[in-house]
Every structure is written in C-alpha cells, then in structure tokens.
Chains A and B, each alone.
Chain A
Amino acid sequence: MTTGRRIKKRQSWLLGVGVACFVIAVWETTGYLDFYNVKLLPQPSQIAVAFYHMVRTGEWISDVEASLSRYVVGLLIGVILGVSLGFATGRVKIVYDAVAPLMNFLRSTPSVALVPLSIVLLGIGEVGKDFVIAWGVTFPVWIGTHTGMRQVTTAYDWAARSLGAQRFRILAEVLLPEALPHIMSGIRIGIATGFFALAAAEMAGASSGVAYRIFAAQQGFQTDEMMVAILTIGALGLVADITFMAFARRVAPWWKNDAFER
C-alpha cells in the first residue's frame, strides 16, 4: 500500500473510532442530565461496571463459551449442507428442479419461527439449538454456492479446453475457483444469519449463553447486564466477520473486489 493510501486508511479508521467515542460520550452525559431513565437504559459507565462483575464471576466467559460452541456446530453443519446442496443444484438440473421449490419455501421461514418446533421435536438440549442455527446458516450458503456453480464463463471454459483440459479437470480448476467468491459471499451472509438464529435458539429452553443472558437479565430487571450481553453478541458477530474476511482473502487472493473489502 502506498503511503498516501495508508494515511487515508488510518484517517478513516480514526474517524470511525472518533464517531463511536462521541456517541458513547453523548450517551453518558445525557444520562447524568436525566434525558432518560438510567434504570431503564444504563449509561456506558454502568455497563462497564456490570461487565467487570460478570467477568469476575466467570459468568461472562461461560456464556460466551456456551454460545460459541453451539454456534460453531450449527455453522459447520450449515456450511457443509449449504455447499453440498449448492454444488448439486448448481450443476445437475434434475436436482435443482426437485429441490428448489421446497428450499425456496423453507428459506422464507425464519429461524425464530422454528424454535418452538425444535423444542417439541428435539427437546431443550443442544441438538435443537444446533438445528436452529444450522437452519439459519444453510440457506444463504446454498444460494451463494448455487449462484457460483451456475456461472459458466465460456471464455475460461474454452481456454481450458484448448489447453487440453477434460471435464473433471475443468470442474476442479475452472468452475470451482470461479465459484469461490460467490461461495464466500454466501458463507459471509450465513455467518451473520447464524447469529440471528443463535439469539432465537437461546430465547427458549436455554440456561446459558449470551443471548440467553439478554432475556434472563431483562426478566430480572438487570438492565446493565442485559446491555453487556447485547454488546457482547454484537462484538462476537463483528469478530466472526472480520476473521472470516481475513480467511477469505487468503483463500482467494486474486479476488480484488469490493465484495471483499470492508
């Protein structure tokens, strides 16, 4: 990166951080000025104190652990399912014709709506939650993979053939790399929807987890703990996205496209 670009990047980062700090400062001071009821909406300082306590008692860590372990399982299942299905529907028309209408109907059903069903069918253990999370992840991943596999850039196909590539090699060396950015986009969205599903799954029948903490704290009128949990889940989502993007950039370094920036 040239010096000019580096400076610009630092400046934009500083600007973003600056605005965030400003918002926090306004939030804090308007609390002291009684613009809102601090019992209902805690100030940042109160949230910080609650966070400290939650960490000290180990509650925060165990919540994060519980949520993440469910999330990762659901994510893995969802990605494997979504990608496999996308390969099949993208390349084999019969499979698409058979599966697509049902899939399109199902994907319109949000994970939240499935929580009660998952409890009835799978109980209040981890399996039901993993299922709900996997549900949230599978569909965007399927769509991304499917779109990627539908692409047939004749140009590359012809180039490969004129260099002696046969069907299987073309699939592996041309089709798949071409599909990769789309698959990555699908997974990126799936990561986000997975967190929505996580929140839904922990809404009922859970006894630990970050989203669970939100609901439990609200019922106990511990609004500061509730805020800590909300901010935590947001932070987890952000970290997951950043991590994935770094990974994606390593897997597909040629893809210098805005889809992979920011």
Chain B
Amino acid sequence: MTLGAEAIVASIRDVTVVFGTDGRAVEAVSKLSLDVFRGECLSLVGASGAGKTTILNVVAGFLAPTSGTVIVNGKEVTSAGPDRGVVFQTNNLFPWKTVLQNVEFGSRMRSVDAGARREIANELLSAVGMAGFSNFYPGELSIGMQQRVALARAYANDPDILLMDEPFGSLDAQTALEMQRLLWSIRQKAPKTIIFVTHNIEEAVTVSDRIVVLSRRPARVKEIFEVELPYPREVNANTLATYGDLRTRIFGLI
C-alpha cells in the first residue's frame, strides 16, 4: 500500500560526489538519480560505506555535490534549511537547552509566536511519548528518549521532507522496534515525506513504502522495491513470507 504518491517532493538528479583530489580521490556517489514522492517513506539501504549518508547530506544541504543537483519542492538545494529536517543518528540535541527549548527551536527561528509554538511543541512531545519531560536536559535522558525528542524537534518545524540518518541505529533492538512503530503512528497523524537511511533490512521493510538498494561504492541505484504490506508492520506469521522474500532479494544485491 503506497501512501498518496501523486507529486514529487524531492528529485535527485545525476548527483556525483567525489571526496579528496587527484590520487586520493574517492568517488562516493556516481550519477545517482532518484525521485521521492509526496508522503512516502523511502529507504536507502546498502552496505556500510555505500554512500547512503553522503546522499542524505547532499539532500540536506550539508554537502555540495561534485556535480548534479537536488531539487526539493521546486527549489534547488544549495545549503541546509528548515524545509529539510534532519534526525541524526546521534540525535544532536542541544545539551544546553531543555527538551522543550530544543523542540521549540525551529519555531523560534521562524518567529512563530510563543503561544503557538508552545502548543505545537507540547503536542509533538505527547505524540512521541515524552510529555512531562519538558524541563529535562538531554543529558538526563536515555538515548531512546533523546531520539524521541529529536524526532519531535524535526517534526515541529514542519519540513517539506524529513531526512533520517540511521536514527535507530544506536538503540537496542527492542527500543528500535518501538521507535519504528512510533514513526508510523506519527505519520498517521501528520503525513510526511521521508528519506530513511538504514543498514538494517528488516527495519527498512517495516517502515518504508519503497526501498532503494544502493550498489557498493560508488553508490548508484541498483534496484527499487515496493513494500506492499499494510501498516503497522511487524514480523509475524502473515508477513513472514514477504519479509523473508524481500530480505533475501535485497541482501543478494548488496
């Protein structure tokens, strides 16, 4: 079941990324083209070092491609911006701000008035299960709780596209499953276009509408799979066949 794939939110066109120069040059990404549809969750999977994070950083605007462009909502990406929210693997919550201040940060940058942004923040904190922790500092939270807050913070800014870079990679298996379920439930309330980077194939099958398999370095699109299971997904008797099938096929390609 694909969720509303009418329009294209992000378009990666012929992006090549080369690190270093001359003899030490490393081509991380080679002429990669990819379209991301509105409301879908698209996973990028591939072996470690395949360039998944590099691609994400280019879309986010942290990294300039050596050639090629990325268009998000009609505008070319030249630098980082609030239209492309990011959830990092190491959450990157500001340790000197409380949970609430972190979540409100984006709204403050856009000069949203205090009442409105407080409301948005509280709503999201409830949605991620962190209501009541507003005045805690990130350092006082477990890493799972920090990632919930990080998700709320990115969502609070209402970006056109949400970029998630192995967001559950640092969590234990149980917490990661909870977070996958949480991501789905948030998408129910507020649909969002998402690019989700992961090296965990089960995770990709659980959260995504489409899975893009990248080749080994330099990264190119090897194949794209559609996941036709109904949400919310988990490995059980009914879904086992699909999970197994996808996993085998994807693993074979990596």
Contact = CB atoms under 8 A, between A and B. Distances in A.
Contacts of A180: 96
Contacts of B114: none
Interface stretch (B24-32, B79-87, B218-226): B79-87
Q: Please report whether the interface of chain B is mostly helix, strand, loop or mixed according to DSSP.
A: loop
Contacts of B81: 161-162, 164
Interface residues of A, number: 22
Interface stretch (B3-11, B102-110, B124-132): B102-110
A161 B163 CA distance: 13
B88 A161 contact: no
A135 to B, nearest CB: 32
B96 A163 contact: no
A163 B62 contact: no
A156 B137 contact: no
A260 B105 CA distance: 27
A158 B92 contact: yes
A256 B62 CA distance: 30
Contact of A163 (B61, B85, B90, B138): B85
Q: Please report whether the interface of chain A is mostly helix, strand, loop or mixed according to DSSP.
A: helix
Contact of A254 (B92, B95, B109, B163): B95
Nearest to B96: A177
Nearest to A154: B62
A256 B95 CA distance: 10
Interface string B110-135: 10000000000000000000000000
A155 B157 CA distance: 18
Interface in A86-102: none
29 contacts: A155-B88, A155-B90, A156-B94, A158-B60, A158-B86, A158-B88, A158-B92, A159-B86, A159-B94, A160-B94, A160-B105, A161-B62, A162-B61, A162-B81, A162-B82, A162-B84, A162-B85, A162-B163, A163-B85, A163-B105, A163-B106, A163-B109, A165-B109, A173-B105, A174-B94, A177-B94, A252-B96, A254-B96, A256-B139
Interface of B: 60-62, 79-82, 84-86, 88, 90, 92-97, 105-106, 109-110, 137-139, 153-154, 157, 163
Given A156-B94, A162-B154, 7 more contacts: A158-B62, A162-B81, A164-B106, A165-B105, A165-B109, A169-B109, A178-B96
